[in-house]
Amino acid sequence: MKNLTKALVKGALLFATALFSLIAFSEPNPYAGMAPSVQKAAKMRLDKLIEDPAYSQSRCILKVSFAGDRVTTSDERLVLPGDTVQKVNGRNLDSSAQAPVVDQLEQIAPNTTVSLQIIRHGATQEVTLRCGDSKPRFDRVIEAYFAAAHFDFKGCVKKFNEAAQYTALNADYLWTQLDCRKLSEPITQYAANTQFYNIQLMRIRARQFSAQQLASIRGQMLSAVESLRNSGAGSLADDLKKQLDEAVLAANRGD
């Protein structure tokens, strides 16, 4: 009975893969074989997100990404990549925390203002930003994984695009979105390579201020460089390797 159940599940997955490929594409989708693994990974991620009640609460969210106390990316004109955050609303950061800035932002109500004391090029200044609400973004992320977990890969792409309107997607979200794009729409090798490159670059930038963290992903980055080269994207491969090497040098200098 157990073997029969496994066979039925496997057959259902193969049928679903073939069905969505026929519906979405006039020609066979070269990525169709990915569907079962993408669906399974999405379901596992969905289950974990739903089980964590912290993510479902409304809280302050900024259009800024942080690595520890450093700004890595920013869509806020008053905050720049490389800025170091000293205080949030006048409170010192917890130096022992893995995500000290985010931890404090999570304690602030949405749709309010928040002040950040930052250091830029050795000078201290204070900026005031408007908090967004994290819950609508989280809801879209949940809906994206729910869609992928039910083989609705087009819906997955749509919901991640909606989530990105609140703040930039992290590398994990972008990776799932890329898989969903491959499975839901015709995508050129160039477009796939470009998004793959951008995801890897984001992973480097999220660790650019820590030589130790960069060292921990060096093997993965070199594999990504080789993957890009094998896909005919030599210029992207060369640039990704250059970005990695420059980030390592800067981190070792303490820039």
| Final residue in a domain of this structure, among 130, 145, 167 | 130
Residue 173 clears pLDDT 50, i.e. is over it: yes
Backbone angles phi, psi at 75, to 5 degrees: -105, 10
Is the same domain home to 218 and 235? yes
Give the burial class of 212: count Cβ atoms within 10 A of its Cβ; 0-12 exposed, 13-18 middle, 19 or more buried: exposed
Quote the pLDDT of residue 22.
47
Summarised one tens digit per residue, pLDDT across range 74-104 is 889 999 988 999 999 999 999 888 889 999 9
Summarised one tens digit per residue, pLDDT across range 47-69 is 999 887 767 789 999 999 888 89
- Looking at the structure, do residues 187 and 247 belong to the same domain, yes or no? yes
- Evaluate whether 174 touches 69 at the Cβ level (below 8 Å): no
- In this structure, are 148 and 241 located in the same domain? yes
User: Are residues 203 and 85 both part of a single domain?
Assistant: no
My answer on whether 108 and 220 are in the same domain is no
CA distance 17 to 34: 9
Q: Which CATH number covers residue 70?
A: 2.30.42.10
Provide the CB-side half-sphere exposure for 192 (13 A, CA): 19
Q: Rounded to an integer, what distance in angstroms lies between the CA atom of residue 169 and that of residue 45? A: 15
Residue with tokens 């650019």: 208
> Is residue 154 located within the same domain as residue 35?
yes
Decide the pairing of beta strands 60-61 and 132-133.
antiparallel
- Among the three residues 80, 105, 130, which one is the final residue of a domain in this structure? 130
Pick the residue with more confidence: 132 or 209? 132
Residue 230 lies in a domain: yes
Please name the residue that has the structure tokens 């679903």.
16
Residues 197 and 246 in one domain: yes
- Whether residues 188 and 223 fall in one domain: yes
Q: How far apart are CA 144 and CA 213, in angstroms?
A: 29
Please return the burial class of 122, using the count of CB atoms within 10 Å of its CB with bins 0-12, 13-18 and 19+: exposed
pLDDT at 21: 47
pLDDT at 19 over 70: no
In DSSP terms, 120 is beta-bridged to 123
Do 90 and 202 fall into the same domain? no
Bridge partner list, 130 = 113
Beta partners for residue 74, in sequence order: 64
Nearest alpha-carbon partner for 218 in 233, 173, 226: 226
**Pick from 130, 145, 161: which residue ends a domain?**
130
Residues 26 and 146 in one domain: yes
The count of structural domains within the chain is: 2
Pairing of strands 70-74, 64-67: antiparallel
- Per cent of the chain over pLDDT 70 is 88
- Angle, alpha carbons 240-242-246 (nearest 5°): 120
Q: Are residues 220 and 174 in the same domain?
A: yes
Residue range of the domain that includes 93: 63-130
